[in-house]
Amino acid sequence: KQEVTQIPAALSVPEGENLVLNCSFTDSAIYNLQWFRQDPGKGLTSLLLIQSSQREQTSGRLNASLDKSSGRSTLYIAASQPGDSATYLCAVGRTSGSARQLTFGSGTQLTVLP
């Protein structure tokens, strides 16, 4: 059974700092990996989707990398801002175009201090 771990559970950084969030998974037979952002009292917003054949994806100040062989993904946030404060979750998918076999991590709660 796939297990997805995100460490640390919480992280505080000063504004402007570059930071890395970690996601590890136990079964490397994945189809894709997705990073989400969740604001308090809100649903999840998809940030980046990496297919298993890809090494990384970029969107603005965000860069997500994937290393299937080591069971790791990282989300790099450049020049962090207070508005980046949220919980970041990763989810690993085993099948194409379906969330049936999507396994979520518990998230890292990020606080960017002004």
What residues line the site for another protein (CB under 8 A)? 4, 31-32, 34, 36, 41-46, 49, 51, 89, 91, 93, 96-100, 102-107
Tokens for 103? 């396994």
Phi–psi pair at 20, nearest 5 degrees = -130, 130
